[in-house]
Amino acid sequence: MLRPRIIPCLLVHNNGLVKSVRFKDYKYVGDPINAVKIFNEKEADELIVLDIDATAEGREPDFKMIAHLANECRMPLCYGGGVKTAEQAKQLVRLGVEKVAVSSAAIETPQLISRIAEEVGRQSCVVVLDYKHSKTGAYEVYTHNGTRATGRDAVAFARQLEALGAGEVLVNSIDNDGVMKGYDVPLARRLKESLDVPISVLGGAGTLDHVRELISACGVIGAAAGSMFVFKGSLKAVLINYPAENRKNEVFAATR
């Protein structure tokens, strides 16, 4: 049967890997290529790499860096950061990226999703929505590393982008980023019920129990995480890690 996916998400900043807390306080955690090599050995289900400088600096993806990563990566690779055109998406796929993630450009111009899906296929077109959960219960989408509010509701907007051709939706909780206290399970459930494409959630995972909690509520889903795979222990010592096969199987038993 189809399994949930447990997905390390790596953030690239100034050519190094960093990990944030609520999209701030970036801590250097190592070298991207080295991390990819470790996740190869650990046989990770998939890998997400997000260049958090590209959009903020108004530049295009660093194709040279991505080619290098894709070259090393022996699991499916999703890249996001600075993708603004279907031509760039095509170039990324040619470099060996399986999935191209689009965020702010698709939020500004939703039709971009249709063009990318047409160019590289729906299965390779991923939408990333960073959001904050307001006190009124709204899930508002943000761009530019959590600095710009868009006024859009994450679930409604995800549905719109799905209709335009997105093949996967990844939601990223700004409030839970780096906090390691568990996923935003209620939103994950709502999205899962609202969409016909696969979804992945990011933000909040600190332990495999959080992953178990997510998949027992949502079934087959992508459980992405940053901190959990780069830190070890309560003092958050940097150590790239990933659950072994038997640990994963225990967690996946929750879906049955």
Partner 1 sequence: MITIIDYGLGNILAFVNLCKRIGIQTKVAHDAAELVGAERIVLPGVGAFDHAMELLQASGMQPTLEELVLDRKVPVLGVCVGMQILANASDEGVREGLGWIPGRVRALRSALPHNARLPLPHMGWNDVKPVNGPSLLEGFENEARFYFLHSYYFECASPEHVAGTCDYGVTFACMVRCGNIYGVQFHPEKSHRFGAGLLKTFSRV
- The binding site for partner 1 (CB under 8 A) comprises 1-5, 40, 43, 45-46, 70-72, 74-76, 93, 95-96, 98, 120-124, 167-168, 195-199, 220, 222
Say how many residues make up the chain: 256
Residues 150, 218: Cα–Cα separation, whole Å: 27
Residues 178, 44: Cα–Cα separation, whole Å: 20
Q: Which is nearer to partner 1, 71 or 134 (CB)?
A: 71
What residue type is assigned to position 13 of the chain? H
User: In sequence order, which residues have a C-beta less than 8 Å from that of residue 217 and are 6 or more positions away?
Assistant: 185, 188, 189
Q: How far is the CB of 162 from partner 1 (least distance, A)?
A: 10
Q: How far is the CB of 58 from partner 1 (least distance, A)?
A: 29
DSSP secondary structure string, 220-244? S-EEEESHHHHEETTTTEE------
Q: Which is nearer to partner 1, 96 or 182 (CB)?
A: 96
Contact 223, 171 (CB under 8 A): no
Q: Which is nearer to partner 1, 194 or 241 (CB)?
A: 194
Q: How far is the CB of 107 from partner 1 (least distance, A)?
A: 22
Residues 12, 115: Cα–Cα separation, whole Å: 26
**Residue numbers annotated as active site:** 130
Q: How far is the CB of 60 from partner 1 (least distance, A)?
A: 21
Q: Which is nearer to partner 1, 38 or 138 (CB)?
A: 38
Residues 165, 161: Cα–Cα separation, whole Å: 6
